[in-house]
Amino acid sequence: MANLKEVKERITSVVSTQQITKAMKMVSAAKLRRAQDKIVQMRPYSQKLTAILNNVSAASEGDDDVVYAQKREVKNVLIVPVTSDKGLCGAFNSNIIKATVALIHNQLAGKHITILPLGKKAYEAFKKTDLPAVNQYYQIFADLTFDNVREAALHAMNGFTSGSYDQVFLVFNEFKNVATQFVVAEQFLPMQRLEAEGAEKVNEVEYLMEPSREYIIEELVPNALKIQFYKAVLESNASEHGARMTAMDKATENAGELLKELRLLYNRSRQAAITNEILEIVAGANALEGK
Amino acid sequence: MHLEIVTPDKKVFQGEVTEASFPGANGSFQVLKNHAPLVSALSKGAISYTTKDGRFNLVVDGGVVEVKDDHIIVLAEKVVG
């Protein structure tokens, strides 16, 4: 039978672990709500942006010679893996790292790869490899605003226009719901056709364009790209808290089960100890009587 | 007229205005009621608008404005103050 004191100590330690995981789950739930709010707040901007862009580009057809859509022979590739700063969220981060490594070895085998990690976990994982990395942006989650994220997006976009990268990929967790995230490897540049999602179909309005249609498109397209980038980061942020919530919920549950077993063991050993004591006393009394 | 100013982080302003002026890429301009449909790029500068509570100022760092059917939508990347 296990030592009573030992079991008691384990019970206290499991109880305090359970308290921590429970608290972390609660914190994640609150943070998840805030992360989802951010996505919701960005939505009007991105919808109106695509709507205006559609209106403007519908005004005349064709000429899609936007710099960001240029397809070149692919030699240099930038990959942007988006992870979190902290662990304890299940397979959230390792999925991203795995997907990135798979991308490098399969689809992009033989290309010259550069990594731009976002989130401390990605930074730490790719620091160990000998891949060249752009490391001045990985701390964006410390203060997640559009302003900070756009710096990283600009780095990728400027690298693309100046020719140092021919292709840019985003690898991030897409937020499906609290319990499910999907790892997505999305081509960021050259840009794909802008999806007209949510925008009403071409209403034939003659707009006055100030200063010119080309100028406006030139202004809007980079904006739309930055928004796409920001969206990926926000999705990943929401997924992180969702993943941590599920992980902590499971941990709390497991701690509960462990506690149940430990308490049973504790009571059993206590019972056994008492039985033992009675036996000893009775035996002692018997020995005295039979003197 | 209805004016909306949005950034990716939040909706900065939404409400009825009688007049609004913008820092267009080709110089500042003003929008009054029944303006023709317009899309204009903005440069860095101040947006000012008049509501029934008075006149307000906001500084934006570039963006784009759309005017249609007395609806003005300003998409700004960054609002300074």
Q: Which structural domains are found in chain B, ordered by start?
A: 2-76 (2.60.15.10)
pLDDT of residue B50: 93
d(CA B64, CA A56): 12
Q: What is the pLDDT of residues B16-38, one digit of tens each?
A: 999 999 999 888 999 999 999 88
Inter-CA distances, A215 with A118, A220, B75, Å: 32, 9, 16
DSSP letters spanning A211-262: S-HHHHHHHHHHHHHHHHHHHHHHHHHHHHHHHHHHHHHHHHHHHHHHHHHH
B75 touches A: beta carbon within 8 Å: yes
| Phi, psi dihedrals of residue B71, rounded to the nearest 5° | -115, 120
What are the tens digits of pLDDT across the range A210-249? 788 888 888 888 888 999 999 999 999 999 999 999 999 9
**B7 at interface of A, judged by CB pairs closer than 8 A:** yes
Taking CA–CA distances from A53, the nearest residue in chain B reads: B39
Beta carbons of B41 and A41 less than 8 Å apart: no
Percent of chain B with pLDDT over 70: 99
Confidence band of A33 (pLDDT split at 50, 70, 90) = very high
Q: Is B31 exposed, middle or buried (0-12, 13-18, 19+ CB in 10 A)?
A: buried
DSSP strand pairing (B2-6 vs B11-16): antiparallel
- Residue range B42-56: mean pLDDT, rounded: 91
ipTM of the complex: 0.84
Is A50 designated active site? no
Chain A nearest-CA distance from B46, in A, is 17
Q: Which residue has the higher pLDDT, A291 or B68?
A: B68
Among A74-88, A91-105, A182-196, which is the least confidently predicted range? A182-196
What CATH homologous superfamily does A28-193+204-246 map to? Answer: ATP synthase, F1 complex, gamma subunit (3.40.1380.10)
pLDDT at res. A92: 94
A203, closest residue in chain B (CA to CA)? B68
CATH tag, A4-27+249-282: 1.10.287.80
Measure in Å the smallest separation between the Cα of B63 and chain A Cα atoms: 8
Interatomic CA distance for residues B3 and B71, integer angstroms: 6
Q: What pLDDT sits at residue A199?
A: 47
**How many whole angstroms separate alpha carbon A104 and alpha carbon A109?**
6
Cβ-Cβ contacts under 8 Å, A145 against chain B? 9
d(CA B11, CA A180): 29
Give span(s): CATH 3.40.1380.10, chain A.
Answer: 28-193+204-246
For residue A202, the chain B residues in CB contact (below 8 A) are none
Tens-digit pLDDT profile for residues A101-143: 999 999 888 899 999 999 999 999 999 988 899 988 999 998 8
Q: Where in chain A is the domain with CATH 1.10.287.80?
A: 4-27+249-282
C-beta atoms of A219 and B41 within 8 A: yes
Annotated catalytic residue within A35, A79, A89, A116: A89
Closest residue of B to A42, CA-based?
B8
pLDDT tens-digit profile of A157-207?
999 999 999 999 999 999 988 888 999 999 998 877 655 444 455 555 678
Residue A18 is predicted with a pLDDT of: 96
